[in-house]
Amino acid sequence: MTNYIQQKMSYYPSIYKNERDVIESLCCVLGNGVDLDLKGHIDSSSEYEFIITEPVAPLRSIYPLSLNSKEKYHMRLAGCTNKGWSTAVQYLIDCINITPDTVPSIKVWKENIHLLEELRDYPSIVDKYSTKELAELSFKKDLEESTETTATRCNYNTHHDSVRKVYFFDVQWSDCPVFVYKEVKQIWSDYDLGNDDYMYKTSLNYELFESYPRVYMWLKHKGVLEGEQVIVHWWW
């Protein structure tokens, strides 16, 4: 396990002078770039834990609390499943309560300390997809309750089928002729594509023939019909 707080202090010593600076940044700073994954892990890691070693002490500063925002941004990390999270939030609450009112914005936080208490007490996120059996039940329920798609949320009037069959042209170590392979290399050069995880999406059409006729003819030779989609993969 890795102590998240100590790691942040070692990576950013000029920003985080003590443990309470780290927790204040997590809980109070809007847009700090830290999120939970769908399993409730901070920064997508179950290996992080929160270990407090310093005594409760006043804060040097605190990010202003915006009460006008409709977004409950203080709850962005609600349900965190990393070990020691609730203890860390309570530690911040204790530090806030003994911080002098002369520190800018601290009085507003004291008056609204219930927000951090809500964060502290929020139930841990439960992974509903941890097993195939549980996933079957959860997926069915989630699908029934789903009210939007990636098309409707962007106000698209039309949409395509998200899961459809396409051809996969796997170039390396295959029956692909070398003269065709050389043109695939040209595609990778033209589009500045990298290794292994990179793909080139195309269709068997006039544009492909104009740019890469050898690839076009090979795909046609292998049974791809005009207009059908192809994903080209080259591991070099």
Handedness of CA 215, 217, 221, 224 (dihedral sign): positive
pLDDT at residue 70 tops 70: no
End-to-end CA distance of the chain: 36
pLDDT number for residue 150: 86
In this structure, the number of other CB atoms found within 10 A of the CB of residue 3 comes to 17
Structure tokens at 24: 């204040």
pLDDT digits (tens, 9 = 90+) for 165-224: 999 999 999 999 999 999 999 999 999 999 989 999 999 999 999 999 999 999 999 999
pLDDT at residue 236 tops 90: no
In this structure, the number of other CB atoms found within 10 A of the CB of residue 24 comes to 21
pLDDT number for residue 151: 83
Residue with tokens 């996120």: 125
Task: Kindly report the pTM of this predicted structure.
Answer: 0.74
CA distance 34 to 165: 36
Q: Which H/E stretch holds residue 233?
A: strand 229-233
pLDDT digits (tens, 9 = 90+) for 87-104: 999 999 999 999 999 999
